[in-house]
Chains A and B, each alone.
Chain A
């Protein structure tokens, strides 16, 4: 691991150099919030952003992604044959991704990259990406990353960690991919690691102290699944829910999708689109039965998946990185911190410490 000093005056020229070998993605402010976008030539990522409204998951799992193409034109020899579309496999540099969102890709990868099944679409995009994280010095009040398996300076899933320091960035090289990117940008001013590490550690400590929210997840693994499933609090948790997909679409760790064929004229595509467990259609059977027929079923599914089924299946903590988006943007203020607390303490003896 080396630490490189990037003077801010060298930032834009470095990106200019990167442009030839990478597609650059970064936070861009449109209207009144930021989202990750592919940067046009010369366009700068805007790091003056607490975090993006949508998570950067769309860089690896676009909301709509074409998997296969076909033609219905019977005069063509290959009509009705599904074919792979042209793929843009140019390496991508994801600039300024927050550590929570980078960690999220690690959690999601367990689903898309297993011994039995490899999701070629997800893996292709993931492997093409180099994640240049921006350490988070201003966590929001709804962020609880440090007790959700991540943290404002967490390095998991990152290739480079950038730490913002007045007139320069300290770039911590974490992987060979990250090293290659820094080299390609011409950022090579190695500095004496001792002082830089001390500076990073100090900033990290201050950022961690600013985290106002914490959750406790220690009992989730030990909870009996069926008892949690039948717990009486689900009705109350679900009451306000309107079953929109905001929480799932903004979430960096929600990965569900639906596959659709669409035809325009003779040209057809097989595509996959984000889907959401909040929608009745998500589980509607062809025969008409819906095993998750009420909103309480659906709300319970979302939280049970993230906080119990995932925990049990992978033994890798919760399927949540504490980014706080669902808390900030749920239109009816359903708060996952409250649900985590209800699930974690369910059936345990509460000691009054007041």
Chain B
């Protein structure tokens, strides 16, 4: 994906110079391996700071909330879907945006790669599908396909769905992917096993809210966990409160979540909270044949009532 860099810079420079946008939101090179920093460029002479590689997993749609300017934004498949969600939820106008679409071949999973080595990783070099990882006393080549973020491995919308210009040729979408193997495994558990599984997943949670804050959907002016009159949720790390936070957040994302993986990527303690959001995603697919963020013309199923909506689950 490194070849996108020149094109991203070229387009960014052009739209800034032509005053089509006031700023461009992208990434700049990170200061530690496997991390890049979301960055805003306002001056056409600064576009060389913008970079693209396999460590751009943070969803840039998160940086659109409440923007009043004309914005250029670099968007991989999932980012573009979340931009579509922003547009349909009236958070931003399509006309305000110049979307530089980036056909994506997946982001690498920092956690998975780190776990493979006992020493600290000091550098990562990417070339095609090969990722060379090195640290103090070791160097190893990995295939990028083997170390993708879990959501990227089962992604079926790598190409941007809404864009003004592309930074590269469209890529082939992954076919025959089983998106819901993990969700079905949980569905098959009995009630007790499910609770136990959820408690195990959430045990390390420190309520830092990195998952919520990395999520482009979580733009409520005041999140329900921060309400104090009434206070819906306790503030400690009591397991009931922690569960309430994660479950309710997942429900708030139903029909909106694109499984971009920003939540799981941001979590400092490695919680797979995607298992909750994916269950809701699967339900939306099963019940309403709906996938979030694929269109800016149709309102999402939980926004509207249709007489033909299924109702077998109402008892």
Contacts and interface: CB of A to CB of B under 8 A. Distances in A.
For this complex, into which size category does the number of interface residues on chain B fall? 35 or more
A44 interface: no
B35 A245 contact: no
B143 interface: no
A31 B268 CA distance: 13
What DSSP secondary structure best describes chain B's contact surface?
A: loop
Given A54-B206, A335-B31, A243 B213 contact: yes
A280 B226 contact: yes
Interface in A194-211: none
Contact of A242 (B30, B39, B115, B210): B210
Nearest to A327: B32
B37 A333 contact: yes
A28 to B, nearest CB: 12
B236 A273 contact: yes
Interface string A222-254: 000000000000001001101111101110000
B32 A239 contact: no
B269 A244 contact: no
Contacts of A108: none
A39 interface: no
For this complex, into which size category does the number of interface residues on chain A fall? 35 or more
A103 to B, nearest CB: 21
A146 B150 CA distance: 38
Given A63-B206, A240-B39, A333-B36, A53 B62 contact: no
Given A239-B39, A280-B226, A335-B31, A141 B210 contact: no
B208 A334 contact: no
Contacts of B63: 239
A331 B210 CA distance: 8
A262 B236 CA distance: 9
A250 B237 contact: no
A181 B42 CA distance: 60
Contacts of A331: 58, 210, 214, 265-268
A33 B269 contact: yes
B178 interface: no
Given A271-B236, A332-B38, A332-B58, A244 B270 contact: no
A196 to B, nearest CB: 27
Contacts of A338: 31
A279 B226 contact: yes
Contacts of A215: none
Contact of B214 (A242, A280, A328): A242
B141 interface: no
A302 interface: no
A242 B212 CA distance: 9
Given A32-B114, A242-B210, A262-B236, A142 B204 contact: no
B237 A63 contact: yes
A321 B250 CA distance: 37
Interface of B: 30-32, 35-40, 58, 62-63, 111, 114-115, 119-120, 122, 136, 204, 206-210, 212-214, 226, 228, 234-238, 265-270
Interface of A: 30-33, 50, 53-54, 63-64, 138, 140-142, 236, 239-240, 242-246, 248-250, 258, 260, 262, 271, 273, 276, 279-281, 327-335, 337-338
Given A245-B208, A245-B209, A249-B206, 10 more contacts: A32-B270, A53-B269, A54-B206, A64-B238, A138-B120, A138-B136, A244-B212, A246-B266, A331-B58, A338-B31
